[in-house]
Amino acid sequence: MRRNMFYIISYDIVETKNRTKIANILESCAVRVQKSVFEAVWSSKILYDVLEKIRPLIDEKVDSIRIYSLCGICKSKIFSLGAPSVYEDMDLEII
């Protein structure tokens, strides 16, 4: 059985066209929690598929994609202020 992990994905992409494409990819399989920050529960296969779709869209000299994996204990310690969390545990797949 594959084990899903909780991920936080953030990006800083200079080119608007590529930034929009990356946002659309992430919106199809993750939950946007801030303008350039997403949360997701993914299997390692979904993570790999997402990275394969995003990789050609970034300029490694100026762009940045950061992906943080959190274990269950770490996830339970997430603290936020302001608007309530929009994240729900969902089985998401890239179509």
Average pLDDT over residues 66-90: 75
Query: If you search the block for the tokens 């050609």, which residue do you land on?
Result: 56
Q: For residue 78, is it within any domain?
A: no
Asked if pLDDT for residue 63 goes beyond 90, the answer is yes
- pLDDT score for 37: 95
Q: For residue 92, is it within any domain?
A: no
Q: Which of 29, 47, 46 is nearest to 38 (CA)?
A: 29
Domain span at residue 58 reads 5-72
pTM more than 0.95: no
CB 30 within 8 A of CB 40: yes
Q: For residue 83, is it within any domain?
A: no
- pLDDT score for 3: 81
Count the domains in the chain.
Answer: 1
Asked if pLDDT for residue 89 goes beyond 60, the answer is no
Residue 22, domain CATH: 3.30.70.240
Rounded to the nearest 10°, the torsion over CA 84, 86, 88, 94 is -170
Average pLDDT over residues 19-38: 95
- pLDDT score for 78: 80
Q: For residue 35, is it within any domain?
A: yes
63, two tokens? 């762009």
26, two tokens? 């992430």
